[in-house]
Structure 1
Amino acid sequence: MSRRRVRPDELDLWHQVARTAQRMRPEEPRSDDRAPEPMIRNPRNAPVQARLEDFQIGATSGRPSPAHDVLPAISERLATAPVSMDKKAFQRMKRGKLVPEGKIDLHGMTMDRAHPALTGFILRSHAAGLRLVLVVTGKGKDRDTGGPIPVRHGVLRHNVPHWLRMPPLAPLVLQITEAHLKHGGGGAYYVYLRRQR
């Protein structure tokens, strides 16, 4: 659908209305020489910058490009997470010196089977007064077919820390970290539970 041109009589009518209209903000300076800014609908009423800066083709931008906001690997995120438990016990746990009191093996399960199994195991372990449990997820298979959207390596390995930080497990879990090599390394997690109250 093409837009029609404004007729001269319509333009004259518009100028008459504009001359008789009162300004909403008379304290702001009038700028008749500036082109009107396009209206942008914004449902959240956030300030929107409607006017773009002048840019010449072939010129470089004055601003540096933003850093890539790529989510770090799960091992990096867990390694940089703050320590919520006793630091000496945490170091002993990371070195594999603490022996897990309970263990669940989710290796080979689908997500719809693994999530309720993990939830039930953590709830039972906390009710039994256990402090350190081992959750084995496996490292996962590489299922990336080379498509445009990358597929994460190890679905359970990436989802288990997320599940442990969601209700009903979040109030029970004090610390999550990758297991020592003798307990499964990158394919398992130590989950340190809070004391019963």
Structure 2
Amino acid sequence: MARPPLYDMNRLLDAALELAAGAGPPAVTMAAVAKAAGAPSGSVYHRFPSRTALLAELWLRTVEGFQEGWFAALSGHRDPRDAAAAGARHVVAWSRGNRPEAVVLLYGAEDYGRADWSQPYLRRAGEGHRRVSEALATLGKSLGVEGELERDQLTLAVIDLPLAVVRGPLRTGAPIPARAEELAERSTRALLAGLGR
């Protein structure tokens, strides 16, 4: 039976994650990842043909991991306001429990070289964006949201507002306060109170 590779993709991405969380995307170089993982440079190039591919995989693995929990939180409640509140709480809880990943997501895909991504990476990113848009549309329909202003208000309540709760502590290195989930939920519910029916 063949032995599993010593330096598999996830091990190398974990090293890249720590570098990005510590000093931002510019710190993620092929040589730095090899050194952080204790791997030969050839192992990194074997898994990732270029730094662009490495950055794309790091970004997509991180955002897809976050999104799976967020989708699950939204789908776990019949009442749309409860679903939105659960989604807001998930942003905070996930950020606390996955701090390096949350710090990576403080940046945008552009900081991880999106302009140079190959088509397979762009398709993965597009699929994630499509799923988020569909989840918001479903939530909006359940809430009776109409018009661009209300759609923007929903996006603010479910995505932007809970991100604002964690952004400061993540940037400064401070702990995310224990009350942050409650703050995110209350704020999301307050913003949704006048929406739709």
So what's the TM-score if we normalise by structure 2? 0.28
Higher helix fraction (1 or 2): 2
Higher strand fraction (1 or 2): 1
> Which entry has the higher C-alpha Rg, 1 or 2?
1
Q: Which has the higher contact order (CA 8 A, sep 6+)?
A: 2
